[in-house]
Structure 1
Amino acid sequence: MLSVGGGYYVDRDEKVTYETPSKAKLKAVECVNDRFVNLGSQIHNTIAITGAAGHAPDGTALMYVLLQGEPAKFVAIDIVKNKVWDEKTLKWSTSAWAMTVDSGGTVWIGGTPSEHLFQYNPKTKSLIDKGKATVKGTSIHDLEVTGGGVVLGSTSPNGSVFKYEAGKGFTDLGQVLPGKHLARSLAYNEETNTLFAGVGAKAQLVAWDMTTNKKQSILPEKYQGETSVYDLDEVDGLLFAKLEPSKKILVFDSITLAFKKEIPASSRGVSQVSPGEEAVYYSHGYALHKYDLDSGNISNIPGTLKGTEAVSIDVINLNHSEFPGSSVVGLLGNSGTYLMYNPATEKLQVNKLNLPQQSIPIYNIERGPRDQIISNGFVSGQVNAFNPETKETNELLKVG
């Protein structure tokens, strides 16, 4: 079968070939059948893209999760009870890669392929679409919020950074580096007013002085063959840069910009500082690890993450007697698994979040045996068959 655009597919014949322009393909379909029938969503799955942690007004600890779908969805989960607290649809988006929680508890979300910026207020359970960030961008890959409330975002395929200010709207700050079309990750040092930007698809790491507009590439040459600097975190004067595809995090002094060391790591980044420990957490080798900010020593946390790595990791007070003080929480992989670890009790839990399934975009479609229509989803790893006679859809294969 041949794609004719707009999610429609037709049999290859003398009317429609690979050389036929898209509009002509669609017209050929209309000649055969003067109306389309919506047969409903074929692929349903739970694909959790990323997560972040925050609190409800009453102190309930929440994990915010972005779900791929048509459309994409934002879900807030009561972490301790593992119960949906709120959920919102992200209009115009089928995915969302970027999410951050500012100091006031407001959640900021970047949609794909809409490149719309969303603002969620847990106090009112309201989601506001702030609009499209740049003229030519399609994806927001990372978000940072300054102490002054300015939202900074990185984009593709224009490779630029934008800022959003309440009352002023969006400003496109331009490409991070000429010729670099993927601005993957961001981190911000409040003291020096420096924005760090990780780019691809040949890795570079840029320290961008937002006062002077001066940019400086600081990634050591030996790492410039990597695909991208996938994730960035600035914590107490240290910059942690996760490489892609290598399982490494690079540590820099975020004031002097000096490279300090390389540590084995598989998680997308590191947590905030764990109070009383002066340490951050990350995952590697399907286990949790702790990095001491003063000594640089690494401690392994007993227990397994059950074959997964952290795609988000945060430190938060769960406000629960079984988890005294601050705890480490994180989203593991993309299937909705999550971790809770309490440093005081050394209690580690790995469970599955009760997330709603979403309609997943169809990636390929083909005619199967007995005239069934076979389709698979992106990135669900699921294959389904639709029977045109019975109008039933059955799952044939699920990977992951």
Structure 2
Amino acid sequence: MSYIDELLKDFTKDNSLKWIKEMVSFFKKPRRFVIVTSSKPTSEIIPQYAFYFLIYTLSYLLLSIGSEMAVAFKTALLSLIVTVIFIIVFSIIGLAVNRTNYFKKISIFIFSLVFFTNPVVLALFSRFLIVENYSYKLGACIIIGIVQLCCFVFYPFFIEVQKKRAWRLFASSFLILNLFWLLTSFFQFDDYEKKDELMVNDPIVSEYLNTYETLFNKDSIPTLRIFYVEDDMYKNTFLVQDVADTINHATGGIRDNTVYIKNLQSNIENLERSIRGAKYYRNKDIFIAWKSYFSQILAECTFPTLEPTEFQVLNSKGQIDTLLLKGTYRLVMPVLNLKSITTSQARLKISHNNLSDAFSRAEIPLFIADRTRYFLGYVLEGIYIDYFQNYKSKPYRAKFDRISSEL
């Protein structure tokens, strides 16, 4: 009989129920669970954790939504490999500091925590992708943050009964973990790094940014229209302004107006494709609003030439100012649909910034866990930057928020 057959022979109903009960007891008294489980023979521990790994794997199959969970599963397997490396490192630290082999206890604690919490995390994240509500992602990130801290920072208090020995192991592993992080950050010459597509650049934000980053002139709108006579023909053009909060006056020339119109047309075409291919309703609603916004602007930019009698009507209503430029009279008036355009832009910024804010809030637990785990490393890095580098912050002008997990 093969080893796998021997392993599967232990997957009885009674054993499965017993292992599930023990899994529940882990959350009640984790240190007791680690001590009791580590006292078992290895021949009993292997089938038990093979059962837990099976649950861990099945959770991806049962809770998968599209290709995102395939990415998550690959990321999880890579994380397990990294976890094994840290288990070995922490075990070596335990031998050096307390002259005790903690390998079995550390393995049991960390793998238990990962295997037992993963289905809950996936359930919350799957719910998040279904209803597109970031409250569920926040819940998933809270659990992930706690697991990260327990696995890599506070694990000594779950495997060691004596407080003095636990604190000694905690201080040593925390110091080495932070020094390792600091050294890797200093010797990393390439700033580019592909982000975790699931938990950092999540599917909803990724889909939105794929379209948002292709759009031109998001803030620029026409605010003034100029009518003039050229070659005995009445013509008109417009002045464009970057609008932040209020309309004061238009600036700039008309040299790039042809390019501006082409950009608007390109934006509308890209948005039409994005609306048809949008997977998430939240993004589809924003894409429709973007298209309406650019369509309003394009209508103003292709405003038909007025007849002389129409000039007179507008002038009689006081809607036109007459300017003398280079010996030619030019009639200047505000863009007819300016209020509607600025209102659409304000609503778009609210939708965009709401998505940015929800994304950032959901990532807060991961930010806290990261800063706690590498607290010493960040402090030393800050001291190095302050005293050894000429660091100057760049001025910031608020427009559309930059969507980022950095707080």
- TM-score (structure 2 length as normaliser): 0.19
- TM-score (structure 1 length as normaliser): 0.19
Structure with greater Cα Rg: 2
Q: Which has the higher helix share?
A: 2
Q: Which has the higher strand share?
A: 1
